[in-house]
Each structure stands twice: as C-alpha cells, then as structure tokens.
Structure 1
Amino acid sequence: MSAVLPHPDLAHVPPTTTPEMTDPTMTTSPDTTYRITTPRVVRAEWIKLRTLRSTWTMLLSVLLTIVGIGAIAAATATGAVEGPADGGGPGGGDALSTVLAGSMLAVVLVGVLGVLVGAREYSSGLIRSSLAAVPARLPVLWAKVVAFLGAVVPVVLSGVLVAFVVGMAILDGGGVTTVSWSDEGTARVVLGTAAYVIGIGLIGLALGLLLRSTAGAISALLAGVLVLPTLAGALLPDAWDGLLKYFPSNAASAFTSVLPADSLLSSETGALVFAAWIVVGLIAAAVALTRRDA
C-alpha cells in the first residue's frame, strides 16, 4: 500500500480564513451586550409585576373600592340609601370625607400590594436569581419602587378624582352641601388622600423586604400603621397625644382633613413626618437588602 503525499505545489500554502472569522464587525462586547442598567432592572421588575393576575385584581379592587364606596357613602348622606349618617355622610363627616370614604379600605389593599411586591420573591426563592443578576442589589430595590409607583399612582389618583366628581354630583343632586375644587383645602385633601394611600403602599413594600415574609409584613403593617395608633389613642391618657400624632396614620390625618383637630400636626408638618416614615422605611429596606444573604 502506497501513502498519499500532498502535492508539492500546496505544501507551503498558508491556510485560508473565512471573512466571518476576521470581520471585526461580528465581534460583540460583553460590556454592551450584558451590561446591567437601571432601565433594564426597572423593566424586569415591571414585567414581573404586570404579568401576575393578582396585581391587576388588586388594582381593580382598589379603583372600585375608592369610587364605589365613595358613591355609596354619598348616596347614604342624601338619604337615597339607608345608613347611619344624618346629612353629613357616615358618622356625620364633611362632604370630602364622605366621598373619599373608600380610601380607608383602599389603603389596606394598596399596603398589601406593596408587601407582595417586597416579600413575594422571598417565599418563591426567585429573589436569589434577581440578586444574582444584579449584584449591586440596590437597583433591585429602586426598580421595585418605580414599578410599584408606575402601577399604583395612576389607579389611586384617578380613583380619588373620580370619587370626588361622582360623589359631589350625588350629594348635590340630593340637596346636600358640597365643595368645589377651588374651595380652600379641597385640592390638598383629595391629593393628600391619594398620597396617603400610595405612601402606605411604599411602607408595605419596605416591610416586605425587611421581614421577608408576606404574612408577617401584612400583620406588621395592619397592626403598627393602622390599628396601633387607634388603640393607643383610645387607651392611653391624653399626655401621650404629643407622641401619637407622629404615627404615620395620624400624621396623614393632618393633611387629609379640611380642618385638622387641635391634637394633630399642621398639614405641612404632617406631610413631612409622613414622608419621613416612608424614607426611613426604604432606607432600612436598602440596608437589609445589601447586608443580608438572600
């Protein structure tokens, strides 16, 4: 058997390369392809939030609660439906508190939604993947906040505005004294109510990240933010009023009431105190997120 020898003219010919292997335009930079940016993290959190059916169920419930209960309260005040009020809404309140009565339940729903945004990934274990993809961790927190606000702000704001318009129309049709948007304090109360509902949601989000438990964070939110101030105000002596007015819900009452009680802060101070609660909660959540293992 004879060996096959290469042709002598081809022995020293250098190997050829294809254009695809040497074309510099075909090379990709990992820095540009896989770079982690804040908009991408926000988009990822937004996708996670909007693809859950429970998110839309909660948001629809919030909208219907604000508008529906406000309309029912207004109809009750006019005598169109039976209720405990007598010419001033449930409990004899003013026109604004009547048409915005639904916000008192909506604040619970939005707070629970905030808890779910903050704590849900811990129960499923998905938080490990999120933090592995974003080693800096803090962008995950800010992205959750932005996604939450993007979903909640339009719903709550439109809800209180529609409740105001519809409720005042019902009250006016029933011969009950109403207020207009141009009246002193009206815009502050309506927009302040929306801010209060949204702010409680942010506190719930912070609690969810801090406690890493949906049930625990919801319990802490309801007890510490909503129930405890009411119980403390009823059980503690008047000497404690100076401290109780700094609770989140009491601070919010200062800017969600046309004429705040003497025991409350001024509307401006109440807004600052309430904002401080939100900031402190988010800072605590940021520290916990960056320093604790997932």
Structure 2
Amino acid sequence: MPVVTQVLRSEWTKIRSVRSTVWTLGLAVVITVALGGLISALVKNDYDNLSAHDKLTFDPTFVSFAGTGLGQLAMIVFGVLVVSNEYSTGMIRASLAAVPQRGTFLFSKVAIATLLALAVSMVTSFAAFFTGQAMLGDLKATLDDPGVLRAVLGGGLYMTLITVFAMGVATMLRSPLLSLAILMPFFFLVSNILGNVSATEKIGDYLPDQAGQKIMQVVTAGDDAPYGPWGGFTIMALWVVAVLAAGYLLLRKRDA
C-alpha cells in the first residue's frame, strides 16, 4: 500500500478517535444554523422599521449567514485541535518517527481535515440558508435568484478556508492554547474593529475573514470594497496558502 494512502488512513483514524474534534464540528452546525435562523426571524419582524437605505441594501441571503461569525469559532477550534492535539499529548514524536517525510505528514493531515470540514461546512451553509429564508417569509431569496447559489456555496468554502487557516497557525505555534489565544480575539474582535473603524477600514478589507465573507454576499449596493466576491475569496485563499507554507517550513526546520 502506498505510503500516502497509509498516512491518510492514519490521520482519518486520529480525527475520528478524538471526541472533541467531532463535537466541535457538530457545534459549528448548530450555532451557525440556529443563530442565522433567529436573526433572520428578528430581521423579518423589524423590516418595516428599516430606513430606505437599509431596505435598498437588504441582502436576505447574507442575513441567513448571520450565525457564521460565531459558528466559525467552532471550526477554528476544530482546525487547531486536529494539529495541536498531537503536540499537547507528545504523540507528535511517534507520528514523525513513523512518517519522517514531513511534507507527506502535513499534507495528509490537512487533506483529511479539509475534506471533512468541507463536507460539514457545505451542509451547514445550505441548512443555514434554507432555515434563514423560511424565517424571512415573503422577504426570502431562492437558489434560482442571481448570485444566490454562488453565495451559498461560498459560505461552505469560507468556513472550510477558516478551518485550514487555523490549522496553518496551529502548525506554526504547536500549542493549542497559544493558537486559540491568538485566533479567537483576532477573528472575533480585532478584525471587526479594524474593519469598522474608518481609519483602518482599508486594512480590514484585506484581512482573511473580511475579504472571504464577500463571497457570501449577493447585494453589494453601498459596498466600497475594491474587489468582488471572487476577488475577496482569492485574498483569503492567499492568506491560507501563506500560513500553511510558513507552518510547513517551521515543521521541517525544528524538532518535534
């Protein structure tokens, strides 16, 4: 059996055998769908009180993804745990002894976790969309509307890339606590602050989450970002590639 196939199977077994990683994926689904549905219902009830400008820029598809901001934190935890669990338990020494080709080791771990995150994220994105549109009633959008299917697929891709980004950071830092101590405040606080303050708004446009979320938007009226949905997604993908490359270089140079 080829080495890569054996390593892929090994990584799949590791993920399945750790309950915390499975629970975080389930939590991501529940939070994203439930919060998106709740906020969609609240928006429906308050729609008549919106200003003319807010009604013009109303995006029913993006509203249904309102839970993504919180749900992505569970995906970040999943990405961190997939990598750093082996460091915290000391199992990384045995893993690297069994697979001395560190590129193969990292590729296999990232590949299995990415495929799993993609499957869960796509289910989550479609579930959040249909739940949110049901709550919006006559304000709802449908998959046949221009740009909607792209946005829903983009929601799944966005959460997948967030997971891979977290894996790259965890590969660099090795510590689960340190990785989460940096990633959680960055995505939950720092990025939002930079993106909503006029002096730093241009910087915020190029942060991975701010840029990546553009792919989930259908209505872009009033959005002055210097790129479109796929441009924002490309920026996020470049961030992910850069972080993974840095993680791989550090993995090659240092001891377990």
Which residues of 2 match residues 133-172 of structure 1 at below 5 A?
133-172=98-137
Whichever structure has more helix as a proportion of its residues is 2
The one-letter amino acid paired with 2:208 is P
Structure 1 CA distance for aligned equivalents of residues 184 and 104 of structure 2: 28
The aligned residue for residue 108 of structure 1 is 73
The alignment covers a number of residue pairs equal to: 249
Q: Deviations over 1:85-111 (max 9, x none)?
A: 43599x985311222222111111101
Structure 2 CA distance for aligned equivalents of residues 291 and 236 of structure 1: 41
The aligned residue for residue 232 of structure 1 is 194
Q: Does 1:86 align with 2:51?
A: no
Residue 217 of structure 2 is aligned with which of 234, 257, 265?
Answer: 257
Structure 2 CA distance for aligned equivalents of residues 236 and 158 of structure 1: 36
Q: Does 1:54 align with 2:14?
A: no
* Unaligned runs of at least 5 residues, structure 2: none
Change (3 A) 1:235 1:95: closer
Structure 2 CA distance for aligned equivalents of residues 248 and 285 of structure 1: 17
Deviation at 1:204, TM superposition (A): 0.5
Deviation at 1:61, TM superposition (A): 0.9
Identity %: 29
Q: Does 1:275 align with 2:241?
A: no
Q: Deviations over 1:217-243 (max 9, x none)?
A: 112212334432222234462xx4443
Q: Does 1:68 align with 2:42?
A: no
**In 2, are the aligned partners of 1:188 and 1:256 still within 8 Å (CA)?**
yes
Change (3 A) 1:236 1:100: closer
Structure 2 CA distance for aligned equivalents of residues 97 and 267 of structure 1: 12
2:215 counterpart SS class: coil
Deviation at 1:118, TM superposition (A): 1.5
TM-score calculated relative to the size of structure 1: 0.78
Q: Give the root-mean-square deviation of aligned CA atoms.
A: 2.2
Residue 121 of structure 1 is aligned with which of 86, 104, 118?
Answer: 86
* Unaligned runs of at least 5 residues, structure 1: 1-34, 80-84
1:288 counterpart SS class: helix
Deviation at 1:194, TM superposition (A): 1.4
Q: Of the two structures, which has the highest relative contact order with CA contacts closer than 8 Å and spacing of 6 or more?
A: 2
**In 2, are the aligned partners of 1:71 and 1:166 still within 8 Å (CA)?**
yes
**In 1, are the aligned partners of 2:21 and 2:82 still within 8 Å (CA)?**
no
Deviation at 1:54, TM superposition (A): 1.2
Q: Does 1:185 align with 2:147?
A: yes
Structure 1, 216-225 or 103-112: larger mean CA deviation: 216-225
Residue 214 of structure 1 is aligned with which of 151, 162, 176?
Answer: 176
Structure 1 CA distance for aligned equivalents of residues 49 and 190 of structure 2: 28
The one-letter amino acid paired with 2:128 is A
Structure 1 CA distance for aligned equivalents of residues 198 and 44 of structure 2: 37
